[in-house]
């Protein structure tokens, strides 16, 4: 899966179309947001900013409510 920041405008629109058409529960969008926030967290250079990004990741993981994202968050916390 490509990062959201590397998608062309056309690809980003197509992704939104897929979310709208094929994701009635919002699960795919939620998991995508978790992945994107993890990418953001991994790029951060300061501990203070990382703590903020980790908190945002925690909120997205709670919203996704998926076993896979919960495991991912536990792994991030162990790091």
Q: What is the pLDDT of residues 1-58, one digit of tens each?
A: 678 877 789 988 888 888 888 888 888 889 989 999 999 999 999 999 999 999 999 9
Q: Residue 11: its pLDDT value, please?
A: 84
* Alpha carbon 25 to chain centroid, angstroms: 16
Quote the pTM value. 0.82
Say how far apart CA 17 and CA 33 lie, in whole Å. Answer: 16
CA distances to 31, 32, 64 from 25, rounded to whole Å, are 12, 13, 10
Contacts of 2 (CB under 8 A, 6+ apart): 11
Contacts of 25 (CB under 8 A, 6+ apart): none
Residue 73 has pLDDT above 90, yes or no: yes
Q: Residue 1: its pLDDT value, please?
A: 65
Instruction: Break the chain into its structural domains and give their ranges.
Output: 4-78
Q: Residue 38: its pLDDT value, please?
A: 95
């Amino acid at each position: 899966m490509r990062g959201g920041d590397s998608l062309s405008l056309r690809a980003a629109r197509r992704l939104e179309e897929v979310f709208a058409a094929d994701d009635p529960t919002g699960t795919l969008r939620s998991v995508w947001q978790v992945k994107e926030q993890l990418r953001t967290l991994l790029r951060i250079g300061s501990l203070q900013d990382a703590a903020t990004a980790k908190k945002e990741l925690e909120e997205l993981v709670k919203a996704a409510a998926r076993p896979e994202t919960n495991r991912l968050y536990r792994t991030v916390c162990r790091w």
